Amino acid sequence: MTLEDLFHRAGTPPKAEKLPVTLTHFKNDRIDEYYWMRDKESPKVIDLLMEENSYTKRVMIELEDLEKRLFVEIKDRVKETDLSVPVRKGNYSYFSKTEEGKQYPIHARRRVDKESEETLLDENQEAIGHDFFALGGLSVSPNEGLIAYLTDIDGSELYTLTIRSISEPERILAQLEECYYGIAWSLDSQFVFFTKTDIQMRPYQVWRLDLAEGKTELVFQEDDEGYFVGIGTTKDDKFIVVDVASKTTTQIFLIDASAPEKPPEQFSERVKGLEYSVEHWRKQFFIVTNRDNPDFGLMVVDHGTNDHRCWEPYLETTEGVRLLEIEVFSDFIAIEERYQATTRLRVIDLRSKAAYEVPKTEEVSSIYIGENEEFDSKVLRYEYSSMITPRSVFDLDLESGSSTLLKQTEVLGDFAGTNYTTFRVWADARDGTKIPISVVCRSDIVPDEKGHPTLLYGYGSYEHSIDPAFSSLRLSLINRGMVFAYAHVRGGGEMGRAWYLDGKLEKKPHTFTDFIDCTKALIDQGWSDPKRIAARGGSAGGMLMGAIANMAPDLYRAIVAEVPFVDCLTTILDPSLPLTTFEWEEWGNPVTDKAIYDIMKSYAPYENVVRVQYPYMLITAGLNDPRVSYWEPAKWAQRLRDKTINPRIILRTEMGAGHQGPSGRYETWHDEAFVYAFILSALELE
């Protein structure tokens, strides 16, 4: 039975009431028939979402056996009871473990001079009684006796901050509601710093909790709605870092962790367009900044010099090589860079400035700085993966440059990397730009005139890079003869800062046309069957899915749009909504800029639905999503059904979760099996 048959048998989909609202801006009228769906408290809204879920279940009911088989395949490749590689800090080695049948990790530690294990936090215990659970952060105090952690039980990303004793878990010192990401300790372990959000979900305040007095005090507040506030510490724990950042500008304030009651001191004045991060080293600070190079460089300044004009270049920069991150040790510094849509690591001896690159065994692969907590260490922990090589954790001897493999994620069953191949394909965009595509498939798959069923994934926003890395889950697709590929479209960060700038603001349409041109390149080069291509993306990548559905509906057999940002013009015009003003530097400000308004209106998926037959479409939403409000995908599904020919659309809303979807590894695998069943059925592979 085909997916077409399943839609036919499912009966009539839910049809929402039309209550047209006229939205006027720059004397331009837009009619929104489903604007009323924004009322989350309305029983009519909840009933509609539940009806949508019921309809989705009716469509997919004949695929439940396939979904169950896919779930078993996914689960059977995973070593369910497993340990992470321990990370040394102070007197302890810290690690996490998973146990068969349990949804969440258990965080533990072992004293370096003892064999006994001590549990820090069992997420499974914390999750009891909740349909959703997410850990937003976990931090052990400098005296090694206390733990602070953030928990979310509804997907709203508003967390409960709990501080308790490690040796006496029942002794809770404090519990604070509606906190955001970030935890920082004073050196004496008496003060905990945390962040709070405003009504638009913008983190804008830093608070200090005095554990001895049980009092909280506001330490810092950022009133400019275009800036987010974050909190952290330097690697040596000597400074608490207050990071104030927009999409294009950074300002950092420092608090001496040994004098936590002193006010924050600015590291440098705020300069529009200046971005940077800092790390303390002896009596200096290393700065990763775009001051002299849009792809960022490494600078250094003496402690106490609060002027960016005094920063001195430490390394020569190379055009097109994006400096991402540094890891500072007493005698060495590790540098993570991005070049030609892959990452690389370099090590510099701070005594001699001699440098070397950490070797990689595959061209299309990813290498990252791992967890490194000890400043005086002579060992760098790093991770490596490719689309055919599972996540591998290494220790690098910084003196000799030799690497030791500590652990490679075990893939159970008959998996062998030699049965697969990964490579790079380049697409010619319509303006002549070369777009990289990372591809993985079975080693017996070769390009031919017919091509092969393909799943193409894309994102292309916020300078976020989709790196070529391993996933045992997608073996269920690849083993069935599918080609899987990442389209590294403009708007992402895969090819440096210029790549990002060429896919944002007024150049945002490049993201969408690049994806379409990547699809055509895979067809032209014999990798993809033009009649069996699926596309997938989430959040801003969901906007990408909506745009390509409007622009090239005949090119795709199926589209999966997860928590898609599809009503983007209406949202970005409304500063009262969460995160909107912060987003103006990414998309432009259509409130005051008519050119941006016109560009956004030209690509906004909700505004541009056309009367043709669209691909099979699976759309997801989260009722508690603070990033992409549930009503965007819900309204879009209704408009698609109303305006397109033979609509074949299902909407699945997580009624107790947010932007990241369901929590717990088994629920995540079930969710992925559901998506895979939809794709395989649409491409007629099952």
Q: What is the pLDDT of residues 666-685, one digit of tens each?
A: 999 999 999 999 999 999 99
Q: Are residues 349 and 383 in the same domain?
A: yes
Q: What is the pLDDT of residue 320?
A: 87
Task: Kindly report, residue by residue over 640-670, the tens digit of the pLDDT.
Answer: 999 999 999 999 999 999 999 999 999 999 9
Looking at the chain, the whole-number percentage of residues with pLDDT higher than 70 is 100
Q: What is the spatial distance between Cα 503 and Cα 456, in angstroms, rounded to a whole number?
A: 19
Residue 275's pLDDT band (cuts 50, 70, 90) = very high
Q: What is the pLDDT of residue 108?
A: 98
Which positions are annotated as active-site residues? 539, 625, 659
133 Cβ contact partners less than 8 Å away, ≥ 6 residues apart: 103, 104, 123, 126, 127, 151, 152, 153, 663, 664
- Number of other residues whose CB lies within 10 A of the CB of residue 216: 15
Asked if residue 447 belongs to a domain, the reply is: yes
Q: Answer yes or no: is pLDDT of 414 > 90.
A: yes
Q: Answer yes or no: is pLDDT of 149 > 80.
A: yes
Q: Is 414 helix (H, G, I), strand (E, B) or coil?
A: coil
Q: Are residues 368 and 428 in the same domain?
A: no
Task: Kindly report, residue by residue over 202-223, the tens digit of the pLDDT.
Answer: 999 999 999 999 999 999 999 9
Look up residue 387 and give its DSSP letter: S
Q: What is the 3-state secondary structure (H, E, C) of 646-667?
A: CCCEEEEEECCCECCECCCHHH
Closest CA to 9 of 652, 648, 658: 648
> For residue 538, what are its two tokens?
């989430």
Could you tell me the CA-to-CA distances from 440 to 363, 470, 674 in Å, in that order? Answer: 13, 10, 22
Look up residue 447 and give its DSSP letter: -
Looking at the chain, the whole-number percentage of residues with pLDDT higher than 90 is 97
> For residue 18, what are its two tokens?
């039309």
Q: Is 30 helix (H, G, I), strand (E, B) or coil?
A: strand
Residue 475 is inside which H or E element, if any?
helix 475-478
As for how many domains the chain has, the answer is 3
Q: Are residues 527 and 656 in the same domain?
A: yes
- Domain-ending residue, one of 268, 290, 320: 268
Q: What is the spatial distance between Cα 323 and Cα 315, in angstroms, rounded to a whole number?
A: 11
Q: What is the spatial distance between Cα 606 and Cα 547, in angstroms, rounded to a whole number?
A: 9
Q: Are residues 428 and 369 in the same domain?
A: no
> For residue 677, what are its two tokens?
């069943």
- Domain-ending residue, one of 268, 300, 331: 268
Asked if residue 100 belongs to a domain, the reply is: no
Asked if residue 120 belongs to a domain, the reply is: no
Q: Are residues 445 and 586 in the same domain?
A: yes
- Domain-ending residue, one of 233, 268, 303: 268
Residue 46's pLDDT band (cuts 50, 70, 90) = very high
Q: Are residues 175 and 41 in the same domain?
A: no
Angle at 201 between CA 669 and CA 276, to 5 degrees: 90
Sheet holding 616-622, edge to edge: 420-428, 434-442, 483-487, 452-458, 528-538, 558-562, 616-622, 649-654
**Buried b / exposed e across 337-368, counting CB within 10 Å, b at 16+?**
bbeebbbbbbbbebeeeeeeebebebebbbbb
Strands (E), 443-520: 452-458, 483-487
Sign, CA torsion 304/309/310/315: positive
Q: What is the pLDDT of residue 601?
A: 98
CATH at 593 = 3.40.50.1820
256: left (phi over 0), alpha (psi -120 to 50) or beta: beta
What's the whole-number mean pLDDT along residues 286-298?
97
Q: Are residues 305 and 433 in the same domain?
A: no
36 Cβ contact partners less than 8 Å away, ≥ 6 residues apart: 17, 19, 21, 42, 44, 45
Q: What is the pLDDT of residue 686?
A: 81
Q: Residue 306 phi/psi, 5° resolution?
A: -100, 55
- Quick one: angle between helices 509-524 and 540-551, nearest 10? 70
Asked if residue 435 belongs to a domain, the reply is: yes
Q: Answer yes or no: is pLDDT of 115 > 90.
A: no
What's the whole-number mean pLDDT along residues 253-274?
97
Asked if residue 84 belongs to a domain, the reply is: no
Asked if residue 104 belongs to a domain, the reply is: no
Q: What is the spatial distance between Cα 39 and Cα 21, in angstroms, rounded to a whole number?
A: 14
Q: What is the pLDDT of residue 504?
A: 98
Q: Are residues 449 and 535 in the same domain?
A: yes
- Which residues, in sequence order, are bridge partners of residue 203? 197
What's the whole-number mean pLDDT along residues 332-359?
96
Task: Kindly report, residue by residue over 47-82, the tens digit of the pLDDT.
Answer: 999 999 999 999 999 999 999 999 999 999 999 999
Q: What is the 3-state secondary structure (H, E, C) of 142-162?
A: CCCCEEEEEEECCCCCCEEEE
Q: Are residues 654 and 517 in the same domain?
A: yes
Residue 163's pLDDT band (cuts 50, 70, 90) = very high
Asked if residue 297 belongs to a domain, the reply is: yes
Question: Is the separation of the CB atoms in 518 and 489 below 8 Å?
Answer: yes
- Could you tell me the pTM of the whole model? 0.97
Q: Are residues 401 and 424 in the same domain?
A: no
What's the whole-number mean pLDDT along residues 11-17?
97
The mean of the pLDDT values for the chain is 97
Residue 104's pLDDT band (cuts 50, 70, 90) = very high
Q: What is the pLDDT of residue 318?
A: 84
CATH at 394 = 2.130.10.120
Q: What is the pLDDT of residue 500?
A: 98
- Identify the domain containing residue 139 by its residue range: 129-268
Q: Are residues 152 and 261 in the same domain?
A: yes
- The full DSSP string for 312-374 is EE-S---TT-EEEEEEE-SSEEEEEEEETTEEEEEEEETTT--EEEPP-S-SSEEEEE-----
Q: Are residues 354 and 399 in the same domain?
A: yes
Q: Answer yes or no: is pLDDT of 233 > 80.
A: yes
Asked if residue 97 belongs to a domain, the reply is: no
Closest CA to 139 of 98, 79, 191: 191
